[in-house]
Amino acid sequence: MKRRTFLQASVAAAIAANVYAAPAKRPRILLRSSWQVVNIGDIAHTPGVLALLEKYVPEAEVTLWASGDFSEVVSAMEKKRFPKLKVVKGSIGENGKASNADLQEAVSSSDFLLHGSGPSFVAARDTGDYVEHTGKPFGIYGITFGGAGRNTLGLMSKAKFVFFRDTVSLAKAKEVGIKSPIMEFGPDGAFACDLRDDTSAEAYLKQSDLTEGKFLCCIPRLRYTPYWLVKEGRAFDEKKHARNEQMKDHDHQPLRDAISKVVSETDYKVLLCPEDMTQMKVGKDNVYDHLSEDVKKKVVWRENFWLTDQALSTYVRSAGFFGLEMHSPIMCIGNGIPAIVGRFEEQTSKGFMWKDIGLGDWLFDVDQPQQVANYASTVLNLIEKPEAAQENVKAGQAVVTMRQQETMEVVRQSVGLS
């Protein structure tokens, strides 16, 4: 990827110096984030953006406006990393009043609303209510965009900035006429996620006879996540289920081939693990059960779900990642671990961020046979050519870090700092 200059050199110099004058009043940012807790990647958006704000906007007081299903378990995990974090939930009514006193205080005292990273402009309704009833400014940080209704497009145009986590989304936003004064590529917030549960990770590796640095992580995925299996009240979708059934063997054959190649040609093992609560069964039914008995001896199937901190502590002890998910690879690259992404036509454009950060050689479309033909050998190269893999990781990290610095400088300016 060609390096592009998004801000003036003076801004870059200020970032490099990392010297911030103390403000007369600490700005208060209301971070609207945390979309669901059945997926460790969706969880990772929030601590990632919190870590960026902590690093680049340390003067600000940040309150998390979380979604309704933000659980006590996930809250406790994030508060281990951010012990002073205040969390509110709820909504703003038609009369402009919040549904509870904590949210009302957070809205009233805030200076700026920051919509966190996510698969779309997830909380457009909450953001619109905030803007309508307070008149306060807002920005959108690190989302994918595939289109929206007229009202949402108009709201996005009112944002101080919109950062898109892939340039396909950025192009789409320009095409449909969004007019925010700053619209640029801005990495997914999960790149900055640094949650850890080293104790649980080390115990699991010992229990599973996995040696640090001597295994790869692999995550399966169906075309459509069967949320009806893990979310109360979610109706069974016959059409999506049928598509999953139609494509499950096709989609997981490249993973099975790569696993077999790794364990047959090296002394490395493979950990088959989940990103969401449905994928333990997906991995067992579509990958593990199809492997030969000899291959299974060097494959560990994780049968229980885990949270983001234990997963990330495991990833950083691996030699690399491959699979059909997106946010575990994001967390891997953000923490120095090589990661190969597989995608298909039903997914959003988020996978193309791998090209945006210079990792196009590690992006595979499983609907393209010519790409799939090179999949297993590319996975094997993570082991056989570790120095080259690390060079790729560092190059990708450099792009991500540069954009994190530059986009956070825009956040600083938007809340009256710098």
CA angle, 212 then 215 then 219, to 5°: 125
Residues 144 and 206 in one domain: no
Q: By C-alpha distance, which of 329, 324, 287, 288 is closest to 312?
A: 329
Residues 178 and 32 in one domain: yes
Q: Give me the CATH number covering residue 181.
A: 3.40.50.11720
* Structural domain for 387, as ranges: 198-397
* pLDDT tens figures, 57-100: 999 999 999 999 999 999 999 999 999 999 999 999 999 999 99
Residues 301 and 284 in one domain: yes
Is 101 a residue whose pLDDT tops 90? yes
In a domain, 3, yes or no: no
pLDDT (0 to 100) of residue 4: 44
Q: Give me the CATH number covering residue 215.
A: 3.40.50.2000
Residues 90 and 62 in one domain: yes
User: How confident is the model over 231-255, as a mean pLDDT?
Assistant: 96
Residues 81 and 97 in one domain: yes
* pLDDT tens figures, 322-342: 999 999 999 999 999 999 999
In a domain, 2, yes or no: no
Residues 351 and 202 in one domain: yes
Question: The pTM is what?
Answer: 0.92
Bridge partner residues of 343 (DSSP): 365
Residues 173 and 225 in one domain: no
In a domain, 297, yes or no: yes
Bridge partner residues of 270 (DSSP): 216, 299
- Token pair, residue 212, equals 């640090």
274 half-sphere exposure, CB direction, 13 A CA radius: 22
In a domain, 1, yes or no: no
In a domain, 267, yes or no: yes
Helix, coil or strand: residue 332: helix
The percent of residues in the chain predicted with pLDDT above 90, rounded, is 92
pLDDT (0 to 100) of residue 232: 87
Is 255 a residue whose pLDDT tops 60? yes
Residues 48 and 163 in one domain: yes
Residues 231 and 202 in one domain: yes
Residues 120 and 236 in one domain: no
Q: How many domains does the chain have?
A: 2
User: How confident is the model over 146-169, as a mean pLDDT?
Assistant: 96
User: What does pLDDT average to over the chain?
Assistant: 94
Residues 330 and 267 in one domain: yes
Residues 170 and 21 in one domain: yes
In a domain, 208, yes or no: yes
Residue 60 backbone phi and psi in degrees, to 5: -80, 150
Q: By C-alpha distance, which of 357, 343, 364 is closest to 400?
A: 357
